[in-house]
């Protein structure tokens, strides 16, 4: 089974601006994103550190959906790199559990709360959409949900005000969703 990069484009929104989250230190989040980006780009030795970083952030602030979404996506990278098919499925399902919890925890306040200039709700949905679209649909059946999440991001009033880097990442995700096998 060929696994596509689970975190397709998610780290592209990982700019250098500071996280704007009450009670959260921006440095650990930015460091975690950098490690995640390295893992996403194929540095397999960075996958476990990315998981550990986002796990620590999620434990420190369990109400922050972005941390849970990135933790799930990082676990998806572990699935990408696993050798045995049953481990690929196990890690992907574990990652999906975190992403599903992140999506379920979104509240109206997350449309106003920002992380790097992007509403938390939009970044969470983009990370989830990228993971859903990248997974083999014949096994996980998440591609339609991923496409729906991208549409929600595009229609959200906060999208137009988001930084250009984020809007570009959303457009790349939308393009990938169109190219994904049916």
Could you report the per-residue pLDDT of 88-130, keeping only the tens digit for each? Answer: 999 999 999 999 999 999 999 999 999 989 999 999 999 999 9
Residues shown for the chain: 182
Domain coordinates in residue numbering, the chain? 10-179
Could you report the per-residue pLDDT of 32-74, keeping only the tens digit for each? Answer: 999 999 999 999 999 999 999 999 999 999 999 999 999 999 9
Q: At what angle do helices 120-134 and 65-81 cross, to 10 degrees?
A: 20
Q: Are 15 and 163 in contact (CB under 8 A)?
A: yes
CATH of domain 10-179: 1.25.40
**Cα 129 to Cα 124: distance, rounded to the nearest angstrom:** 9
Alpha helices in the chain (DSSP H): 26-40, 47-60, 65-81, 85-104, 120-134, 137-140, 143-155, 164-179
DSSP string, 76-128: HHHHHH-SSHHHHHHHHHHHHHHHHHHHHT--GGGGT-EETTEEHHHHHHHHH
pTM of the model: 0.86
């Amino acid at each position: 089974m060929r696994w596509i990069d689970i975190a397709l484009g998610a780290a592209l929104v990982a700019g250098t601006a500071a996280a704007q989250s009450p009670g959260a230190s921006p440095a650990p989040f930015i460091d975690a994103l950098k490690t995640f980006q390295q893992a996403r780009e194929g540095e397999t030795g960075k996958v476990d550190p990315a998981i550990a970083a986002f796990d620590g952030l999620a434990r420190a602030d369990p109400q922050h959906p972005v941390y849970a979404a990135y933790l799930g996506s990082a676990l998806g990278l572990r699935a990408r790199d696993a050798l045995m098919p049953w481990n690929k499925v196990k890690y992907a399902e574990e990652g999906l559990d975190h992403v599903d919890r992140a999506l379920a925890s979104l509240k109206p306040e997350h449309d106003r709360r920002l992380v790097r200039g992007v509403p938390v709700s939009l970044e969470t949905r983009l990370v989830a959409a990228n993971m859903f679209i990248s997974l083999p649909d014949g096994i996980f059946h998440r591609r339609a949900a991923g496409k729906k999440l991208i549409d929600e991001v595009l229609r959200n009033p906060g999208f137009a005000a988001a930084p250009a880097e984020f809007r570009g990442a959303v457009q790349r995700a939308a393009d990938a969703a169109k190219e994904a096998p049916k």
